[in-house]
Amino acid sequence: IDEPTRGIDIANKAQIYAFIQELVAKGKACIVISSEMQELIGICDRILVMREGRITGEVSGAEMTESNVAVLATSGPKPGPKAKGGTEWLS
């Protein structure tokens, strides 16, 4: 779902969140694309962060904070042979 709550009032946002939760309860996976970090943190089990068309990292559980997502979105993971998620970084 791409930006499911953009331009939506609070009451309808709650309905969208409930619908997503219903799908998950039925064993369905939902991919939500959003620039609203608090929204993602509130409804997702894990977050994959992309920058320039590449996955720069994945956070879940206690790692799902605005600061961790922001670091991955702006500068990516610390340099190394591979970023979490298998993205290769070139020197």
Q: Could you report the per-residue pLDDT of 32-74, keeping only the tens digit for each?
A: 998 888 889 999 999 999 888 888 999 999 999 999 999 998 9
- Give the pLDDT of residue 23: 93
Tell me, yes or no, whether 19 and 61 share the same domain.
no
91 and 51, same domain (yes or no): yes
DSSP-derived letter for residue 7 is T
Q: How confident is the model at residue 86 (pLDDT cuts 50, 70, 90)?
A: low
**Same structural domain, 60 and 32:** no
The model's pTM is 0.69
The answer to whether the beta carbons of residues 6 and 32 sit under 8 Å apart is: no
Domain holding 23, by residue range, is: 1-44
Same domain, 35 and 3: yes
Closest to 41 measured CA to CA, from 29, 53, 49: 49
Cα distances (Å, whole numbers) of residue 19 to 22, 23, 76, 82: 5, 6, 32, 36
Q: How many domains, in total, are found in the chain?
A: 2
